[in-house]
Structure 1
Amino acid sequence: MKNLQLLAVVLACFGALTAQNNYKYTNETEGLKMETDYSSDDQEIRDILSFEGIDYMKLNFEGKDLKGKAYKLTVKEIWDGKITSESVVFDSKNLGIKEFETLSEPEMKFRLISKHTSDNKLKMTFKFSRFSISKEYDATESNEYSLRNIAHESGLELKYDEEFYLFAYILPYEREDGSKSWCEVGTAGDDVEKWGEKFGIKHYLLFEMKFE
């Protein structure tokens, strides 16, 4: 059983990193369920995503208590192990569209598209059924950033009415032998704000979700 669990983690890390394979995983905590679908079912689309260095992820949250709740995503930018800024990515209460302020059904779906650009930015687009939000964040010159669903990889709890860590946009851990690992970071557990110090990562982004 342990070998099978290890293989599942390895496949998840590989799939999310390369965008060459699609995998689906489900997390559930206290009635709040999250399904993560990495990449695309279409092989040609997967080839294009991989060639362009694009991370693509689909998320679906389900739970009877989601109906009527607002939803907010915030981000912490961490440089050299220190949180240098915190900001709101989106807040349904402040979208300026009344019908989107709270969820009308016991579910929420969105797609996330991201990449490292030639001018050293991390460009991200969050696409909902009837609107989308795009953001850019400063980055290093490295093109080795990888978008991870750390709620899945590190087994973090999903919560109602409390913030929980959902995504991380990370650089790899560089071992003494010169090899690099994204999985070793993404699966490192819940002390996510200390990853920069622990792994010597120059820069990464941490995203927190809240349903309230």
Structure 2
Amino acid sequence: MKLKFNLIVFLLISNSVFSQKTVKMTCNYGSNNKDIQELTVFEGIFIEQLNFEGENLNGKSYIIKIIEFKEGKKINSSTLFDGTESDYFRINSGSVSLKFFFKLNDGELKVQIRGNNFFSKKTYFKLYDDVYQYALKDFFSYKSELNIDLSKTNAVLAIITPSIHKDGTGSYCEVVQTDVAPEELGAHFKIPHYFIVTIEFK
């Protein structure tokens, strides 16, 4: 009986520690308006909103970066937004939503982030493959939510080209629906060029 009680106490403590270190992340992709969604796809624009929820978000700031990989190697890392630069951007509740805009056009990727009462500067990156080969993907797979570890930097989005099979067909889902670490995707799936968007809470 004592062993059972100790086990219950251990599980309760473990769950409490886990909840203090993690927050829930959900997403909303594109537009609910079908015509607008079709237009954005036609124009090479991808939109995804990430929603973070957890009491331990209150008082934290966040840094969002984009990391570029070519031929399986990291070649660049750029800060898209640094909320630690001012207390104005500090989270003052148990939730925060960020909307990411990506535009693929004329051989370049344009990125901008919008949050509550702010938007980041537009950042541009050169594309080395056909612009129509790139697509925005997240790491939810078939899940409706993910737990984000507040103690580390988390990969949340990817702009990738497909994994090409021996028969010439390509697959995007195979790339992001895998246990392979984001920084290893290029080498594992033979992807020549891709980007990973990360977020770190401080």
What TM-score, normalized to structure 2?
0.82
What is the identity, as a one-letter code, of the residue corresponding to 1:124? V
Contact 1:66–1:103 (Cα < 8 Å) also in 2: yes
Residue 102 (structure 2) aligns with: 114
Residue 26 (structure 2) aligns with: 35
With a CA cutoff of 8 Å and minimum separation of 6, indicate the structure with the bigger relative contact order: 2
Please give the alpha-carbon distance, in whole angstroms, between the structure 2 residues aligned to 1:193 and 1:35: 22
Specify which of 27, 32, 48 is matched with residue 57 of structure 1. 48
Residue 83 (structure 2) aligns with: 92
What is the identity, as a one-letter code, of the residue corresponding to 1:139? L
What is the identity, as a one-letter code, of the residue corresponding to 1:211? F
> Unaligned stretches of 5+ in structure 2?
1-17
Residue 3 (structure 1) aligns with: none
Contact 1:172–1:201 (Cα < 8 Å) also in 2: yes
Could you tell me how far 1:154 is from its partner in structure 2?
8.7
Please give the alpha-carbon distance, in whole angstroms, between the structure 2 residues aligned to 1:176 and 1:117: 29
Residue 15 (structure 2) aligns with: none
Specify which of 65, 74, 87 is matched with residue 65 of structure 2. 74
Pairing 1:123–2:110 present: yes
Could you tell me how far 1:195 is from its partner in structure 2?
1.2
> Unaligned stretches of 5+ in structure 1?
1-28
Please give the alpha-carbon distance, in whole angstroms, between the structure 1 residues aligned to 2:74 and 2:94: 34
Pairing 1:103–2:94 present: no
Residues 173-204 of structure 1, C-alpha deviations (whole Å, 9 max, x = no match): 11111111000101122422111111111100
Aligned residues: 179
What is the identity, as a one-letter code, of the residue corresponding to 2:135? S
Residue 170 (structure 1) aligns with: 160
Please give the alpha-carbon distance, in whole angstroms, between the structure 2 residues aligned to 1:190 and 1:106: 31
Please give the alpha-carbon distance, in whole angstroms, between the structure 2 residues aligned to 1:36 and 1:59: 5
What is the identity, as a one-letter code, of the residue corresponding to 2:198? E
The RMSD of aligned alpha carbons is 1.8
Contact 2:25–2:147 (Cα < 8 Å) also in 1: no
Contact 1:154–1:188 (Cα < 8 Å) also in 2: no
Q: Say which SS state the counterpart of residue 151 (structure 2) adopts.
A: coil
Could you tell me how far 1:98 is from its partner in structure 2?
3.4
Please give the alpha-carbon distance, in whole angstroms, between the structure 2 residues aligned to 1:50 and 1:149: 17
Contact 1:154–1:190 (Cα < 8 Å) also in 2: no
Contact 2:129–2:193 (Cα < 8 Å) also in 1: no
What is the identity, as a one-letter code, of the residue corresponding to 1:103? I
Larger Rg: 2
Residue 119 (structure 2) aligns with: 132
Please give the alpha-carbon distance, in whole angstroms, between the structure 1 residues aligned to 2:196 and 2:50: 17
